[in-house]
């Protein structure tokens, strides 16, 4: 009897080809579409081809029909609202910049997929994420995708071995161009040329400021220079992020950027670009997918944003967190964003960037191990 796998079907090309590949590999495939957020009543941009619409559900259903596999729809809108959308707004109210895709993967997608898999007595769950899973005698190793331009391992750092052992990510072994060609060759024309979803799925316009204005009560405050001199007022700290230049109302002269946000004082601190540089950062709630933290300092490459380049650094484990010392100072280290640590193609771990730079790590740090 073939092993059963539940595939998260978003209505896009990647998850559709994930189902196709697993079917070709002999699995008993079941498609599940999670209804995360209702965009059908929203003002969508022209020719919008993201996700979270009834058309996406219908595309997923059509793919499953074409493949001859069952298809189910799970309504997870209430959970998505509380675990992702509410988290998104509350983080901005705290002067932080969240990454909702990570919260969605951690709190919604994999947990609900695993629950559905248990009900259907399935052996695995699968997604269309661009990442690779290598099964070894020591556990399942989370690795970058073959197509570096599409790699999504960054948003998966929160996974643990209990999840990874029962997860498949077949599209990570192929470049995106081949995935589209596979869809076309299989007659999945409803998704083969479908555009990639962009930005935050529940804010299709990309205008997060308008989104927040409808949902939070803002409190005005001061915009101040690094020395505390007030230079203007803002309508709410929710509308600022580290490194921002626009909307500061600063006087003419040297460009000014948001250096830090002080939520306890409702204050936005601005300064010159040089003040954005950091040689270290604190990271909380660190997760290591292999389940084992390093026993001392280790050399890593760090991504401090989803689309940023990796930066060479030394990771110092500290309790359930870590301190990262950069080899070269990095610009706009942003509280609330994820810092994800790699060694080569292997994702070692990740956590949430915290404000403050007082690490407690001496400058004469011990030599790191690799």
**Residue 201: active-site member:** yes
Closest by CA position to 341, among listed 323, 367, 329, 360: 323
Angstrom CA distances, 138 to 134, 290, 296, 298, 338, stand at 10, 8, 20, 20, 26
Q: Estimate the crossing angle of helix 13-24 against helix 54-67, to 10 degrees.
A: 20
| Cα–Cα distance for residue pair 96/199, rounded to 1 Å | 18
- Of 51, 52, 101, 201, catalytic: 201
Question: 3-class DSSP state for residue 368?
Answer: coil
CA angle 178-105-135, nearest 5°?
60
Which tokens go with 141? 């190793």
What is the number of residues in the chain? 370
First-residue to last-residue Cα distance in the chain: 43
Which residue among the candidates 51, 64, 101, 104 is catalytic per the annotation? Answer: 104
Q: Is 101 a catalytic residue?
A: no
Extended beta strands in the chain, E state: 4-8, 28-35, 71-75, 124-126, 131-136, 139-144, 167-168, 221-225, 230-234, 257-262, 267-271, 277-287, 298-303, 311-318, 321-331, 338-343, 346-354
Q: Which residues, 6+ apart, have CB-to-CB distance to 73 below 8 Å?
A: 32, 33, 34, 35, 57
In the sheet with 267-271, reading across from the earlier edge strand, the strands are 230-234, 221-225, 267-271, 257-262
Dump the DSSP string for 77-141. HHHHIIIIIHHHHHHHHTT----HHHHHIIIIIHHHHHHHHHHTT-SEEE---SEEEEEETTEEE
Q: Which residues are catalytic?
A: 104, 201
């Amino acid at each position: 009897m073939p092993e059963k796998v539940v595939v998260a079907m978003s209505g896009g090309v990647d998850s559709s080809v994930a189902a196709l590949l697993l079917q070709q590999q002999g699995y008993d495939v079941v498609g599940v579409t999670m209804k995360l957020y209702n965009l059908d009543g929203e003002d969508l941009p022209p020719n919008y081809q993201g996700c979270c619409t009834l058309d996406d559900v219908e595309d997923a259903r059509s793919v499953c029909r074409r493949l001859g596999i069952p298809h189910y729809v799970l309504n997870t809108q209430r959970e998505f609202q509380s675990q992702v959308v509410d988290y998104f707004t509350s983080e901005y109210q705290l002067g932080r910049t969240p990454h909702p895709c990570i919260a969605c993967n951690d709190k919604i997608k994999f947990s609900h997929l695993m629950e559905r898999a248990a009900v259907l007595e399935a052996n695995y769950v699968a997604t269309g994420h661009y990442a690779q899973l290598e099964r070894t005698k020591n556990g399942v190793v989370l690795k970058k995708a073959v197509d570096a331009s599409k790699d999504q391992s960054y948003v998966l750092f929160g996974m643990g071995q209990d999840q990874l052992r029962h997860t498949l990510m077949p599209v990570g072994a192929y470049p995106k161009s081949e995935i589209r060609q596979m869809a076309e060759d299989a007659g999945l024309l409803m998704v083969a040329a479908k555009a990639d979803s962009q930005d935050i799925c529940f804010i299709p316009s990309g205008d997060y400021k308008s989104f927040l204005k409808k949902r939070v009560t803002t409190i005005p405050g001061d915009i101040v220079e690094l020395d505390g001199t007030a230079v203007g007022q803002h309508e709410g700290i929710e509308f600022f992020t580290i490194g921002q230049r626009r909307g500061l109302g600063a006087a003419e002269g040297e460009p000014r950027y948001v250096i830090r946000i002080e939520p306890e004082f409702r204050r936005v601190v601005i300064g010159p670009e040089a003040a954005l540089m950091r040689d270290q950062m604190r990271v909380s709630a660190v997760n290591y997918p292999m389940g084992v933290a390093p026993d001392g300092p280790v050399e890593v490459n760090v991504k401090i944003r989803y689309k940023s380049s990796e930066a060479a650094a030394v990771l110092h484990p500290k309790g359930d967190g870590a301190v990262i010392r950069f080899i070269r100072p990095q610009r706009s280290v942003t509280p609330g964003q994820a810092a994800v640590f790699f060694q080569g193609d292997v994702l070692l771990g990740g956590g949430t960037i915290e404000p403050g730079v007082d690490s407690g790590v001496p400058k004469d740090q011990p030599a790191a191990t690799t």
